[in-house]
Structure 1
C-alpha cells in the first residue's frame, strides 16, 4: 500500500488499477494541487470494497461526498461519445462494439456503485452523497449524456485533472464537511483493513464544539455636569450677581439622561430579542396522514427557518445567498406503495415577490444545480432508524404564488434513482400537500 501526499487529495494505492484508463485516473487525482477549491479527502486506488464483487479504479472520500470512479476501456480513441446509462453507446456516430459483446459498458459500473451504496446503507454511516464517475479511455474529446443521467449523479468523462475535478465539485455537495470520525466509519465500511488510517490534515473536521453564547453590553454614557464657575471679583459700576446653584440643575439633567438611556436600551433589547427569534428554527410535529392521488403521506416532522441559504447546497444555495427569501419550511413524510417505503422531503420557500420564486425554480430545475438539504445533515436524524440518502432522489417542483415547492423522494433501505417512475409519481403527488409553517 503506497500513499502519496502533497496534493489536494491524499492518494492511497491499495491494489492495481481495474482498467487501463485507471492509470490516468490515478495521475489526475495525484495532480490536484492545493490551489484548487476542493482540498482534502483520501482516494483509495485499486480498491475492492467489502461486499462488492470487483475492484474499482478509485473510491474518493471527500469532506462533502464520496466519488466512485469506474474505468471503461474503449476499443479506440474517439472525438464524440454518446453514452446513455441505458441503451447503445456510440463513438463518432458508430455503435460501440467490444470484444465481450457489451454495447453499454456503463451497466457494470452502475451495478458496482449500487452494491457500494447498499454497503454504506447497511453500515448506517453518515449519509453523504455518492457520485459515480465512469472514466473512459484511451481518449475522448466530447461526451454527451442525457439530462436524466446527470440528475442521477453520474458523470462520464475522460479522466483529465480538470474534468475529474469539475465532477467532484458537482457531485460532492454535502451541506457541511463530515468529521474525521464519520469519514473513518465510511472507509471502515468499505475497507476494514484501513479503519485506523490517519485522517488528520486531510480536510475533515473534528468533532463539533458548541459555540459560546455571545453577550451584549450596553454602556451608559457618562454625563459631564457643568462645573461651578469661580467667583469673579466685583466690578465697579455693576451690581453683584447672585451665583447660580448648579448642583440641583446638574442632578436634574443626569436623571433625565439616565431615563432616556433606559428607554433606548429597553427598545434596543426588545429589537435584539426579535432578531434572535427571527433567525431561530422552530419544529412542529403533525400526527394525521395526508392522502393525495391514493397515496398516504405520514408526517414525520416539520422544521421552519428564516435563513434559507444555510440549508441549501449547490447553485440553489448560491442563488439564495444573493436573493431574499422570507421563510423555508422543510416537511418530512413517509409513504408506502407496493410494500416499499419512501422518504419524502417537501421544502417550501416563501419570497416577498413572485418573480423571485420563478427565478429560483429555473435554477433548481437544472441538472446538478443542488437542492434543499434534509435536517439529518444538520444533526436532526430522520425519525426511527431510517437514514434516507437524498442525493439520488426523484425530484419535482411547483409554484404557488410567492412560494416555490421542491420535493425529493427516495426509497428507505434500498438504492434510489432520479428516474424511478414510482418515486417520480410520489414526488409529483407530494406537490399537492399543503405545508403550513
Structure 2
C-alpha cells in the first residue's frame, strides 16, 4: 500500500508544490496579519508648532510693566499713610496769605497785597522800642495790613500785624515786656511808614485801638485794630476791637512758622 498524499495547493496555484519526497520541509503559507500577542503601536504625537520669540518677549515686558505700576501705587499708598509723613492739615501747603479760618474775615489792603519784610527794626520803630532795637537788633520784621467789616458793624476796620524776629526767645520776651507797657512806643504801622494810605486814617499805637501781642519762640507778634476815621470809643467798643486783633494773631502765627 502506498503512503497517503498530503493535500496541497491546486495545480493552477502559483505556490510551489510541497515537497513530496521524504526529508523535505513542508510548505507553510506566510502569515501577513499581525499577531495577537504583539503590543499595540500608538501613533507618534505631532510636534508642537515653534513659538514666536517676539510675542513671548512682548508678554514678559508687559507683565514687568504691570508689576512696576502696581508696586508704585502700593509704595505711594504706604508713604501717604506713614506716621513719618502725616498729611498736612487743611490739604495743600499754605502760603503767607492763607491761614486757618477764624472768627472774622480779613482782606489784604490794596496797598499791601503781600506782607512786607524788613531787616532794620530800629529804623521801623519809635521811642523805647526803638532804643531796645538799637542795643538788641532784630533779625527780621514782617508787616501786613488788612481790612474787615464784621457782621453788625457799619465801619471799616483796619488791622495790621507785625512779626518781630529776634535772635533768641529771651530777647523776644524782653521786647514783649517793653511793648506791653503804655507810652513806650511800638513798631511803626504801615500808614506812618508810608507803605499804605487811607482816607481818615490816624495814628495807630498802644491805647489807640484794639491791641494784642503774643510770643512765639524767638518771635513777637503784635496786632492793632481801629475804626477809620477813629472816634471816641466806649469800653465795649475797645473790647470788640481787641477781639478783632486777637483773631488776627493767626496771621502772625503763620508768618512766624514760615520764618
Please report the TM-score for the alignment, with normalisation by the length of structure 1: 0.32
Q: 1: distance between equivalents of 2:250 and 2:160? A: 13
Work out whether 1:411 is the aligned partner of 2:227: yes
Q: Does the aligned pair in 2 maintain the 1:290–1:297 contact within 8 Å?
A: no
Contact 2:201 / 2:230 at 8 angstroms: preserved in 1? no
Match of 1:307 among 111, 120, 128: 120
CA RMSD of aligned residues (A): 2.5
SS of 1:347's equivalent in the other structure is strand
State the match for 2:213 in structure 1.
Answer: 397
The answer to whether the 8 Å contact 1:312/1:370 transfers is yes
Structure 2: tracts of 5 or more residues without a match: 1-94
Match in the other structure for 1:422:
240
User: Could you tell me which residue of structure 1 aligns to residue 201 of structure 2?
Assistant: 387
Q: Secondary structure at 2:185's aligned position in 1?
A: coil
> Could you tell me how far apart the structure 2 residues matched to 1:318 and 1:393 are?
24
Residue 184 (structure 2) aligns with: 369
Instruction: Tell me the SS of whatever aligns to 1:357.
Output: helix
Instruction: Tell me how far apart the structure 1 counterparts of residues 234 and 129 of structure 2 sit (CA, whole Å).
Output: 18
Q: How many residue pairs are counted as aligned between the two chains? A: 151
Tell me the SS of whatever aligns to 2:222.
strand
Q: Structure 1 residue 424: deviation in Å?
A: 0.6
| Residue of 138, 141, 146 corresponding to 1:333 | 146
Distance in 1 (alpha carbons) for counterparts of 2:100 and 2:196: 25
Paired residue for 1:432? 250
- For the residue of structure 2 that corresponds to 1:431, the secondary structure is helix
In 1, are the aligned partners of 2:108 and 2:147 still within 8 Å (CA)? yes
- Are residues 1:297 and 2:110 paired? no
> Which protein shows a greater Rg?
2
Determine the C-alpha separation between the residues in 2 that align with 1:290 and 1:332. Answer: 14
- Which runs of no fewer than 5 residues in structure 1 stay unpaired? 1-285
Query: Which structure 1 residue ranges, 4+ long, deviate > 3 Å from structure 2?
Result: 286-293, 416-419
Taking the aligned partners of 1:287 and 1:326, their CA distance within structure 2 comes to: 19
* Partners of 2:98 and 2:192 in 1: CA distance: 25
- In the alignment, the residues of structure 2 paired with residue 363 and residue 313 of structure 1 have an alpha-carbon distance, to the nearest angstrom, of 12
State the distance in 2 between where 1:299 and 1:379 align.
16
Instruction: Give, in angstroms, the shift of residue 389 of structure 1.
Output: 3.1
**Is residue 313–residue 373 contact of structure 1 (8 Å, CA) maintained in 2?**
yes
